[in-house]
Amino acid sequence: MSEKFYITTPIYYVNAEPHLGHAYTTIVADVLNRFHILEGKETYFLTGTDEHGDKIVRAAEGAGEPAERYVDRMSQMFRDLWPKLGICNDDFIRTTEPRHKSVVKKILERVHEKGDIYFSDYEGLYCFGCERFYTERELVEGKCPDHLTEPTMISESNYFFRMSNYQDWLIDHIKRNPEFIRPERYKNEVLSFLKDPLEDLCISRPKSRLRWGITLPFDENYVTYVWFDALINYISALGYPEGELFRRFWPVAQHLVAKDILKPHGIYWPCMLKAADIEPYQHLNVHGYWNVDEGKMSKSLGNVVKPLELVDIYGLDAFRYFLLREMVFGLDSEFSEDALVARINADLANDLGNLVSRSLTMARKYFQRESVQPGKQVEIDEDLKRRALQLLGEYESNMEKLGFHKALIAIWDFIGHVNKYIVKTEPWVLAKKDRERLSSVMFNIIESIIEVSVLLWPFMPATSEKLQGILGLERKGGDLKLRNLGLWEGLRDVGKISKVPHLFPRVEVKKEAGVGEEEEEQKPEERRKEMVSFEEFQKLDLRVGVIKEAHNIPGSKKLVKLLVDIGEERVVVAGIAGYYSTEELVGKDVVIVANLMPVKLMGVESNGMVLAAEDDTGVHLLTPDARTAPGSKVR
């Protein structure tokens, strides 16, 4: 029997549209789920919506809709968003569904029968935003710490859950299972909260005040407090108590939440489970907050980040990569579009994009599966293989510990090594003089790309599958398991290699005009340079040339060193590394300025300049439209 994995996200309130924060949590859950699929586990991934309570009633009223219709419409927005973000959840639960309501009633009955629910008068300070009572001690300057509003004094009779009965058990459980709440800072926060006596939890709302909720099974006049209702989704979706899914997945349950809802998940929920004689979950994984403009995202500030808008501009995989690479799990992060663009250009267009386009273009040109037949000797590059194995280990251990950014750093480190290996082995030179060695070099490169494609699958599923598709791999995406790597035998599956598309175009950064600078684009005639006479123009020696060799320049992300035949051989340095792979360049006809003063760039002397045109889509070399003899004059 394979090992199992069960991951949940919070069920999101339907009082507002999904934003960056919801997208992040759900993407992290998807990344974790896919990682466990790669580990060969049987997985289950649950998300959904939280639809009861005051907050929702007020939002429905604000929208001028009956609550039923409002929650249907809003819940659908979440449900529709997830596939667009590449989320592959197995189930989507809504707290208004009968399957959920019946489990909430069962749990309430059970805890009630046990004597852990009692009826009592209560007078307290209530925050409508949080939908809970606050003690004086919890308020900050008399206000709710989250909503910064003064709570209202409410006096009513209600039902209470004897949470205090479970305080000692919970402290002991957390101490004996140090990974129960992680990262550690959040475990410590819960333990520090538990130093003071726990108050019992008010779990009902009189129908005179709120009708939109689940009626208590033992008192028709009350509905269930929204948190007591919502937390139960994690087991109602599995068909508690008899459900097959519950039996299989509950013992390995892991929740994923942000720090805002640490207390209900770290305190109420384990106590509720204990009271209902259900095993506690395995892990509560808590992440930090995405801030915008150094503060919270908020409708009133107009800085709510909408995930689909970013995906439309930058692409889904770039967005997913950025979120996971940028945030250290557990800590807060500042979101900015500039940071997103910087990551796309440096990590995706440059590092990964270069590796993929140069390797797979070469693979298509020089190499098909037939080049490495079983039994044919290939020379494995031991250094590259050792690094690949080391990467696998680092990746697995970081992913297990929620160190997503570290796992990505390790992959990018490896990408850097493969890029270096290509520069060192120069397959384009071997293609002309040593086909045997070329086979071995290409074998090592393709095995490395297969590994990168598999490890990227949780983060960038479409890119990973595209890479595997180009290689004609018979097993794709999650079918390739981590245990298949490390053996360096993925090539057995490689088929016909297809044309390589441009995966990550660079994002041009539009410079904002500063004070005093002209805001509008200049008119074409203003952009033109000053006039030159024909004699002056004739001073330029423009020649047709053909690129014989192209090499990346170590330490430079922009420059390539070209050997150009213009009737004689010239070394020319060109700033086109982000736009062409060195393999694509070899054999290209170009136009060069042949009498430009030599200049040293990154230690290489350049004797000329290659002409190219640039627009929003990138840099394009100028080429005569028919084969022209090298050295021909351009007039």
22 labelled catalytic: yes
Neighbour count for residue 483 (Cβ, 10 Å): 11
User: Which residue out of 147, 424, 496, 502 is catalytically annotated?
Assistant: 147
CB of 506 to ligand MSP, least distance (A): 28
Task: Answer yes or no: 127 catalytic.
Answer: yes
Q: What is the greatest pairwise CA distance in the chain?
A: 102
Q: Which of 127, 255, 265, 274 is labelled catalytic?
A: 127
CB of 269 vs ligand MSP, minimal distance in Å: 8
Report the nearest approach of ligand MSP to the CB of residue 317 (Å). 20
E strand or H helix at 393, and its extent?
helix 382-400
* Residue 573, helix vs strand vs coil: strand
Task: State yes or no: is 255 an active-site residue.
Answer: no
Cβ 261 to ligand MSP shortest distance, Å: 5
- The two tokens of residue 364 are 């298509």
User: Nearer Cβ to ligand MSP, position 24 or 319?
Assistant: 24
Position closest to ligand MSP via CB: 21
Give the pair of three-digit tokens for residue 259. Answer: 């720090």
Pick 44 or 290: Cβ nearer ligand MSP: 290
| Complex with ligand MSP: residue 228 or 457, whichever CB lies closer | 228
Angle between helices 307-314 and 316-326 (to 10 degrees): 120
Q: Which of 106, 130, 385, 558 is catalytic?
A: 130
Q: Which CB, 231 or 235, lies closer to ligand MSP?
A: 231
Eight-class DSSP state of 150: P
Closest CA to 238 of 398, 108, 105, 46: 46
Q: How far is the CB of 9 from ligand MSP (least distance, A)?
A: 7
3-class DSSP assignment, residue 345: helix
Q: Quote the strand ranges of 282-332, DSSP E.
A: 283-287, 290-292
Catalytic site includes residue 271: no
Please spell the DSSP secondary structure of 427-444, one letter per residue. Answer: HHHHHHH-HHHHHHHHHH
Residue 101 known to be catalytic: no
Give the nearest distance from C-beta 159 to ligand MSP in angstroms: 20
Among residues 328, 335, 242, 235, the alpha carbon closest in space to that of 288 is found at: 328
SS (H, E, C) 153-178: EEEEEEEEECHHHHHHHHHHHHHHCC
* Residue corresponding to tokens 């004897």: 162
Check 144, 187, 255, 265 and give the catalytic one: 144
In whole angstroms, the minimum distance from the beta carbon of 204 to ligand MSP comes to 18
- Sheet arrangement for strand 215-216: 204-206, 219-224, 215-216
Of residues 129 and 618, the one with the C-beta less far from ligand MSP: 129
Name the catalytic one among 84, 175, 299, 633: 299
Nearer to ligand MSP, 11 or 411 (CB): 11
Q: How far is the CB of 64 from ligand MSP (least distance, A)?
A: 22
Measured from the CB atom, the residue of 258 and 407 that comes closer to ligand MSP is 258
Show the DSSP H helices in 498-626 as ranges: 524-527, 534-538, 582-585
Active site includes 173?
A: no
Which of 400, 405, 599, 584 is closest to 502 using CA atoms?
Answer: 584
Contact 154, 121 (CB under 8 A): no
Residue (75 or 606) nearer to ligand MSP, CB: 75
Q: Which residues bind ligand MSP (CB under 6 A)?
A: 10-13, 21-22, 24-25, 50, 230-231, 233, 257-258, 260-261, 289-290, 297
Phi-psi region of 212 (alpha: psi -120 to 50; beta: other; left: phi over 0): beta
Which residues belong to the active site? 19, 22, 127, 130, 144, 147, 296, 299
